[in-house]
Structure 1
Amino acid sequence: MKEIKILGIDLAKNIFQLHGVDAAGKPVLRKAVSRRKLMEALVNLPPCLIGMEACGCAHNWAREMIKLGHDVRIMAPHFVAPYRKSGKNDLNNAEAICEAVSRPHMRFVAVKTEAQQSALMVHRVRASINTERTALINQIRGLLQEFGIILAKGASTFSKRFLEVVEAENFPWMQWRSWPNCADTCWH
C-alpha cells in the first residue's frame, strides 16, 4: 500500500470513516473503524495531514492524534460541504474532508487545549444560566401582571421587589394556603 499523505476522518458516535490519499491524490485507504480502534489504526500510520470536521469530540481526538505526530486540522462543516461529490453519507463525507483539508486557502479551527476548552465550557454554562434566569424572571413578571402587579425590568431589582410582593398580606396566592387540600387540587 502506498503511503498516506492526507487522511480525512468523519467522526461519529461509534463508527468512523477514514479516507486516505497518497502524494498524487489517489485514494489508498477507505475504511470504517470503531471508536475503540481509531487510535490503534492511526498509530500504525506514518505522520500525515489529518482533517476532521469541528464537532463535540474533534478537539479531544485532535490532541490525541497530535501526540502521535500527525498534523491535524479541524474545519467547520459548512466549509467541507462543497467538496462532497454526491449524497451525504459518512464515506462521502470522509472523502470531502480529505479534499477540503488539502486546499491551500481553507480556513481551520485552532485545536484547543484542555484548559481552553474548560474556560469555554464555564463561559457557555454561565451564559446559559443568565439566559434561563432572564426567561424565568420574564415569566414571573408576566404571571404577576395577571394579578395587576407590575415589576420593573431588570434582574438587579427583581429579587428584592419580588420578595416584597410575595410577603405582602394581600397577595392572591397567600389565600391558597387556607384552601382545603390545596396541594392536592392545585398542582395535579
Structure 2
Amino acid sequence: MMKTPDPHLFKSGRDFAAWMGLTPKDHSTAGKTRHGVITRAGDELLRSTLVVGATAVVQHARNGRGRNLTPWLIGLIGRKSPKLVAVAVANKAARVAWKLMVSGERYQCVAPPALTAVAA
C-alpha cells in the first residue's frame, strides 16, 4: 500500500520532502531567517523509515565502511552532527524518490570517483 499521495500533486521534490516533514521549521522575523527542528508533517512511519535508513548510511560512512561516498556526504559529516546529517540524507532520498515516482524511471546508481579518506 502506498503511503504517499499522487506525486504529481507536488511541484518539486522539495515540496514532497516538506510534506514528509523532512525540512526545518521556519522561525523568521524582521528579515532574519531562523530554522528550527524538522516539521514532522506527513506520515510518521514513512518519515522515520527514511531517517533510520539514512542513519545507517551515516554510521557506515563514519566508521569507514561506506561505499560510493559522495564528497557532499563526507563534507556534511565533517561539519554537522550525525542526527542532522541523517535528516539531510533522508531529505535527499525523499527528493530522489519523488523524481523516480514522477518520471517513472528506474534508479541508476552513479558511482562517484574513488575517495581515499573518510571524515570521522
TM-score norm. by structure 1 comes to 0.20
Higher relative contact order (CA 8 A, sep 6+): 2
State the structure with more CA Rg. 1
